């Protein structure tokens, strides 16, 4: 297993986090300003929630979600189609020796938050939480 990889049980290094956040900001700005020469991509508003880098910083996975969650497959397809231009543009903006290969995945964080919220609103869960709160104050 690679050192500091997510699968080895350790979290990402400070360097991975720093580079991931720098790529996230630059990618968000590029997409917001429409710097890519693809009118189909420029008409979609895309949120970049997180970018995770491999320990060697050769691959960066951007977790994206189109505004409103509609057209996720189309957004992924357009980002993948324009990956070389996006990588080149990010490389010009960043002072890295090597610009990571960019990969794209749908960000399911919002779905998970909604599922958690629904679970916490469930009567049975609220009753169990209330019982636990009473036990801890006794």
pLDDT at residue 4 in the model: 40
The residue ranking higher by pLDDT, 122 or 106, is: 106
Q: Among 5-14, 45-54, 91-100, which stretch is predicted with the lowest mean pLDDT?
A: 5-14
Q: How many residues does the chain have?
A: 138
pTM for the whole structure: 0.72
User: What pLDDT is recorded for position 5?
Assistant: 44
Start-to-end CA distance of the chain, whole Å, equals: 48
CB 12 within 8 A of CB 6: yes
CA torsion 100-104-110-113 (nearest 10°) is -70
Contact indicator for 83, 61 with CB cutoff of 8 Å: no
6-107 has which CATH code?
Answer: 3.30.300.20
- Model confidence at 49, pLDDT cuts 50, 70, 90, reads very high
Round to whole Å and give the CA distance between 100 and 108. 23
Token readout for 95 is 């002072």
- 41 or 130, which is more confident: 41
Q: How far apart are CA 62 and CA 46, in angstroms?
A: 11
Tens digit of each residue's pLDDT (9 = 90 or more) over 56-66: 999 999 999 99
Q: Which residue spans of the chain are classified as CATH 3.30.300.20?
A: 6-107
Backbone CA torsion sign across 61, 90, 96, 47: negative
């Amino acid at each position: 297993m690679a050192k500091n990889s997510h699968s080895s049980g350790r979290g990402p290094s400070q360097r991975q986090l720093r580079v991931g956040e720098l790529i996230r900001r630059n990618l968000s700005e590029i997409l917001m300003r429409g710097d890519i020469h693809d009118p189909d991509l420029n008409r979609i508003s895309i949120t970049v929630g997180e970018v995770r880098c491999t320990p060697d910083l050769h691959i960066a996975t951007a977790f994206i979600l189109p505004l409103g969650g509609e057209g996720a497959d189309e957004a992924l397809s357009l980002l993948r189609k324009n990956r070389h231009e996006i990588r080149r543009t990010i490389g010009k903006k960043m002072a890295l020796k090597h610009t990571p290969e960019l990969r794209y995945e749908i960000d399911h964080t919002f779905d998970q938050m909604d599922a958690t919220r629904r679970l916490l609103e469930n009567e049975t869960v609220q009753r169990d939480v209330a019982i636990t709160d009473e036990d801890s104050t006794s």
